């Protein structure tokens, strides 16, 4: 049912108002009369209708008066909110000077399926238009409109529709017809916009190359200026930077020469890019920047002790270095001749003993910058000394990059895994390190890329290695050798308790109240679950136990104590148990001691005899030196049959000497006494005592010569459960480096003749086995 209203009329030429729009209107005399009349009435509403040249429109909108006031210029104005469409009837009388008319409200029928489909299509088109204009907030408003009629009337805001088109929409009460018309108009507008954009793109693409490059270069110059990277003539900025930088005179002179070359070269020339890169590298190096060393010797030692357990020799060396530096500084003794007071050390020891992490602790103790250079697998000499600038993609070497990264000229540089540097057709990196690590030469180190003298004499170089055999002798001679041997069982327990367990508790999100790992359990892990010089495998087992404890806590939230008896539940059965008793139960087997890249280890040597042509067969991947030791051992035993009590002819058979773990290469002379003992045991038919280990080189006359790795070998003997170890007499000074607890657990006997070993290493004659036939 259509309702009739009596309302004052406000005629507008611009804008055309549709339902839903909110518009501000500047009030002239007629408009003011209409507003006053509407406010005087009870409804506070006015009818807005377009004013036409030929008369008045037949449709308008009923609008409520939201606000009346004045604009900035002082003119009267009102804000009107259009609410619904109305058909204008004949004029009527009313109060005031306004024109009053009767108007019939146009009802909006419920939308059908067709109307909803048209509304959805029109919404997509409107959103597409708004997206091109990036009007994201308006898109949100449009997406919230659900009524088809309300959606169609939003076209009153569309700038691409004319007043005539908007009036046509006002005079079309049917929603379906209105949406159909709008869809056609919007599609035409989008198509027209696409054509315009395509024409603009074609015009841009049709610009001449020189004009485009000019435009881009102007834009690039503007961008650089905004970023503070302005290069007015391609070199002026570099000239200023070189002149203001704190550079040595020789470096400044070389840099200014390159700036001159840059000024003379074209921006398009590849050479200008190479020069800029070189200048950037030179300007970023800390030519005059040095950090001040800490002078507190006690504090430095406290830092080293807090980070690492044991390793007293390297800690003492660092503290001595710092003490001398502090003393020279106090007395004003400057270094003469351009040579600084740096140092070059190499830490040699098995994996997992803390060599790499020690470098960072040293830097903290000295209050210096720290940088690590990984050398493992490096085969190119240019990796150390850099590439010539003539090569594409040339870079400075790793040493220069390390100094640049550190930001100071006296950092601690850790050369990690220096024993694993290789050599091929590209050169020998170890040879390139000769100048770097020579304190008498490295104050004028010259990188191929820089081609300038760089002073490395204040750098503290710390190299790490597992073995020294693969380090060239000339390079080793330039470094101070510090041996970092393995840990004792007590050391491992202390390290696990103070460092490993707290770290793994944190990683497993556990606390000491939730899980407790007793010292007895840690000792059992060190003794029977691992057989290593370091503590890496021990840390993995601690982590495994704590992970299983965390899993158990998820089911039973009670505190857990892991002791020696319950360790099997968390780690399974022990993997290593003393086997000397079992291995040496038969004659011909003796226990030796050896040093590998993984630390010290026990080495069993087996000897046997069979009927056949007299001779010696050696197996077990033995090196030439070890093969010669076997020949020497057999010759010694055969030449001392009477003194040893061996029947003549016992060894005139086919002798086979085997060193188990045949997949592992073995070499060195230190198994000589062990081979003599094995052959003597075989010939006498008396087993070697299971608690005895031995090491030493033997001569044809039976003299026992010194060997290396005494500390690591004694640590291995303790781990293997040996209680008596024979060492060469001339190795007695090496016992000063062996921990007291090891010497207390192992009876070390110093011998100078192999006969002294044979006198006590074999089982007594009264328990002899049957003498080998």
* Cα dihedral across residues 146, 150, 155, 156: positive or negative: negative
Instruction: Say how far apart CA 185 and CA 166 lie, in whole Å.
Output: 11
Q: Is 356 known as a binding-site position?
A: yes
End-to-end distance of the chain based on CA atoms, in angstroms? 131
Exposure letters 315-336 (e unless 16+ CB within 10 A, then b): bebbbebbeebbeeeeeeeeee
Half-sphere exposure of 507 (CA within 13 A, CB side): 14
The token duo for 229 is 């990277």
CB within 8 Å of 64: residues ≥ 6 apart: 44, 45, 80, 81, 83
Listed in order, strand segments (DSSP E) in 275-399 are: 343-348, 370-374
Q: Is 81 known as a binding-site position?
A: no
Which residue among the candidates 670, 681, 690, 711 is catalytic per the annotation?
670
Whether the Cβ atoms of residue 19 and residue 167 lie closer than 8 Å to each other: no
Q: Is 355 known as a binding-site position?
A: yes
- DSSP character string of 467-482: -STTS-HHHHHTSEEE
- DSSP character string of 680-721: HHHHHT-PBPTTEEE--EE-TT-BEEP-S-HHHHHHHHHHHT
Half-sphere exposure of 729 (CA within 13 A, CB side): 8
The token duo for 75 is 């003119």
Place of tokens 């090196």: 623
Q: Would you say how long the chain is, in residues?
A: 773
Whether the Cβ atoms of residue 378 and residue 436 lie closer than 8 Å to each other: no
With 0-12 / 13-18 / 19 or more C-beta atoms within 10 angstroms meaning exposed / middle / buried, residue 483 is middle
Q: Is 354 known as a binding-site position?
A: yes
> At residue 467, what are phi and psi to the nearest 5 degrees?
-135, 155
- DSSP character string of 165-230: HHHHHHT---HHHHHHHHHHHHHHHHHHHHHHHHHHHHHHHTS-HHHHHHHHHHHHHHHHHHTT--
Q: Is 568 known as a binding-site position?
A: no
Cα 513 to the chain's mean position, in Å? 33
Q: Where are the alpha helices (DSSP H) in 591-739?
A: 624-639, 641-644, 672-684, 710-720
Which residue among the candidates 123, 166, 369, 713 is catalytic per the annotation?
713
Catalytic status, residue 272: no
Q: Is 352 known as a binding-site position?
A: yes
Catalytic status, residue 713: yes
Instruction: Say how far apart CA 485 and CA 354 lie, in whole Å.
Output: 10
Q: Is 166 known as a binding-site position?
A: no
Cα 303 to the chain's mean position, in Å? 25
Active site residues: 670, 713
Q: Which residues are annotated as a binding site for ATP?
A: 349-356
Q: Which residues are annotated as a binding site?
A: 349-356
């Amino acid at each position: 049912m259509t309702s009739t209203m009596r309302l004052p009329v406000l005629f507008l030429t611009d804008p055309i108002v549709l339902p839903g729009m909110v518009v501000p209107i500047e009030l002239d005399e007629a408009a003011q009369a209409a507003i006053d009349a509407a406010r005087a009435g009870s409804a506070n509403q006015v009818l807005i209708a377009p004013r036409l040249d030929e008369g008045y429109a037949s449709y308008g909108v009923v609008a409520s008066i939201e606000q009346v006031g004045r604009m900035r210029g002082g003119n009267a104005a009102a804000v009107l909110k259009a609410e619904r469409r109305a058909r204008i009837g004949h004029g009527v009388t009313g109060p005031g000077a306004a024109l009053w008319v009767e108007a019939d409200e146009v009802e909006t029928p419920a939308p059908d399926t067709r109307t909803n489909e048209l509304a959805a299509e029109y919404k997509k088109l409107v959103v597409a238009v708004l997206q091109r204009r990036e009007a994201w907030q308006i898109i949100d408003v449009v997406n919230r409109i659900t009524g088809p009629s309300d959606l169609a009337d939003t076209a009153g805001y569309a700038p691409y529709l004319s007043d005539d088109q908007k009036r046509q929409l006002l005079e079309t009460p049917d929603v379906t017809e209105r949406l159909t018309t709008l869809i056609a108009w919007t599609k035409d507008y989008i198509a027209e916009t696409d054509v315009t954009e395509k024409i603009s793109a074609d015009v841009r693409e049709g610009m001449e190359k020189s004009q485009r490059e000019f435009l881009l270069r102007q834009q690039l110059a503007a961008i650089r200026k905004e970023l503070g990277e302005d290069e007015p003539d391609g070199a002026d900025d570099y000239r200023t930077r070189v002149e203001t930088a704190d550079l040595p005179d020789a470096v400044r002179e070389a840099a200014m020469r390159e700036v001159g070359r840059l000024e003379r070269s074209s921006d398009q020339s590849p050479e200008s890019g190479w020069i800029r890169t070189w200048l950037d590298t030179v300007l970023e190096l800390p030519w005059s920047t040095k950090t001040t060393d800490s002078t507190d010797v006690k504090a430095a030692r406290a830092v080293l002790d807090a980070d690492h357990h044991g390793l007293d020799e390297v800690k003492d060396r660092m503290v001595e270095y710092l003490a001398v530096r502090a003393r020279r500084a106090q007395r004003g003794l400057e270094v003469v001749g351009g040579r600084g007071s740096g140092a070059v050390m190499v830490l040699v020891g098995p994996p997992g003993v803390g060599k790499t992490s020690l470098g960072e602790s040293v830097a903290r103790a000295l209050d210096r910058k720290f940088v690590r250079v990984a050398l493992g697998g490096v085969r190119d000499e240019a990796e150390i000394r850099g590439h010539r600038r003539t090569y594409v993609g040339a870079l400075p070497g790793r040493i220069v990059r390390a100094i640049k990264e550190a930001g100071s000229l006296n950092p601690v540089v850790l050369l990690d895994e220096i024993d694993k540097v290789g050599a091929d057709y590209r050169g020998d990196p170890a040879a390139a390190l000769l100048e770097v690590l020579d304190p008498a030469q490295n104050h004028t180190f010259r990188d191929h890329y820089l081609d300038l003298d760089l002073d490395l004499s204040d750098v503290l170089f710390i190299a790490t290695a597992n073995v020294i055999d693969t380090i060239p002798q000339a390079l080793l001679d330039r470094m101070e050798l510090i041996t970092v041997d393995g840990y004792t069982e007590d050391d491992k327990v202390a390290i696990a308790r103070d460092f490993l367990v707290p770290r793994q508790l944190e990683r497993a999100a556990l606390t000491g109240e939730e899980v407790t790992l007793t010292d007895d359990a840690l000792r059992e892990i060190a003794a029977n679950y691992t057989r290593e010089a370091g503590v890496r495998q021990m840390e993995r087992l601690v982590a495994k136990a704590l992970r299983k404890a965390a899993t158990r806590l998820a089911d039973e939230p009670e505190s857990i104590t892991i002791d020696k008896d319950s360790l099997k539940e968390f780690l399974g059965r022990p993997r290593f148990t003393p086997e000397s008793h079992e291995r040496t139960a038969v004659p011909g087997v003796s226990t030796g001691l050896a040093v590998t890249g993984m630390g010290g280890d026990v080495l069993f040597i087996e000897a046997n005899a069979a009927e056949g042509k007299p001779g010696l067969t050696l197996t077990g991947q033995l090196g030439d030196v070890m093969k010669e030791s076997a020949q020497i051992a057999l010759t010694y035993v055969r030449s001392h049959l009477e003194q040893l009590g061996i029947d003549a002819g016992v060894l005139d058979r086919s002798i086979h000497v085997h060193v188990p773990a045949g997949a592992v290469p073995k070499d060195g002379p230190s198994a000589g006494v062990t081979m003599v003992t094995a052959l003597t045991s075989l010939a006498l038919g008396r087993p070697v005592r299971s608690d005895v280990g031995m090491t030493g080189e033997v001569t044809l006359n039976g003299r026992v010569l010194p060997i290396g790795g005494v500390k690591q070998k004694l640590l291995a003997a303790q781990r293997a459960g040996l209680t008596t170890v024979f060492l060469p007499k001339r190795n007695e000074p090496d016992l000063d480096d062996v921990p007291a607890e090891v010497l207390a657990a192992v009876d070390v006997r110093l011998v100078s003749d192999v006969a002294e070993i044979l006198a006590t290493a074999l089982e007594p004659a009264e328990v002899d086995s049957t003498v080998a036939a």
